Structure 1
């Protein structure tokens, strides 16, 4: 399945703005892209960072039309049946397919283009 195409503009939190230096160095808003499969139920989600090595160490943003929330969520424990070393890159209880089932069509198109131009780099 293709990746969801929902995008949100995430402004920096107010406490970060309050701690920042003068206006010419203030943090800027950034865009986040939903990492779930298209046509998923519920909120859109993107992982912002992972502190690693402990449950709930990954911080995700979940959003809909009304609000956005930052949440620490544990990683999905499922493994790719084709390669048990590859774990799902989404959170426990995610509403769409596992990360190995979700394809980013833009990334796929870029990879195919590069493979045609530089076949020696793509065995």
Structure 2
């Protein structure tokens, strides 16, 4: 499943603006797989949050919230944990493909095949 393409402008509240990456307003991309409900999410930080992370949640109609959420407990067949929050929808992180990243990796593999000896850029 392709990654959701929703993007929003995030201006950190004063207490988060002390973190260098949030000092200036920036655009955030939704980390979830494509979904139809308009409820989007991006992880802001997992530092200091026991068993979870701080997420920025937003909807297409302008609702926003910063919230600490526990990690999803899903684990894939290789033993890798899902990097999304509990009760996310619809797919686990390993089922979500960033189409831009995939296109870049294909181009890198084409231009620099020595970096991809197995032939698969993933």
Note whether the superposition's TM-score is higher than 0.5.
yes
Query: 1:38/1:69 Cα in 2 relative to 1: closer, same or farther (>3 Å)?
Result: same
The residue matched to 1:79 in structure 2 has which SS?
Answer: coil
Kindly report the root-mean-square deviation, in angstroms, between the aligned alpha carbons of the 2 structures. 1.9
8 Å contact kept, 1:35–1:45: yes
Q: Where does residue 56 of structure 2 map in the other structure?
A: 61
Q: Which protein is richer in helix relative to its size?
A: 1
- The structure 2 residue matched to 1:99, chosen from 93, 97, 114, is 93
The answer for the alignment partner of 2:120 in structure 1 is none
| 1:115 alignment counterpart | 109
Decide whether the 8 Å contact of 1:9 with 1:31 is kept in 2: yes
Distance in 2 between residues matched to 1:31 and 1:45, nearest whole Å: 12
Consecutive unaligned residues of structure 1, counting only runs of 5 or more, are 20-26
Q: 1:41 to 1:71 in 2, by over 3 A?
A: same
The structure whose Rg is larger is 1
Q: Scaled by the length of structure 1, what TM-score is found?
A: 0.82
**Count of aligned pairs:** 112
TM-score (norm 2): 0.83
**Residue matched to 2:44:** 48
Q: Compared with structure 1, are the counterparts of its residues 16 and 105 closer, same or farther at alpha carbon in structure 2 (3 Å cutoff)?
A: closer
The aligned runs of 1:10-89 (5 Å cut-off) are 10-14=10-14, 27-51=23-47, 54-56=50-52, 58-64=53-59, 65-81=61-77, 83-84=78-79, 86-89=80-83
Give the direction of change, closer, same or farther, for the CA distance of 1:15–1:90 in structure 2 (3 Å limit): closer
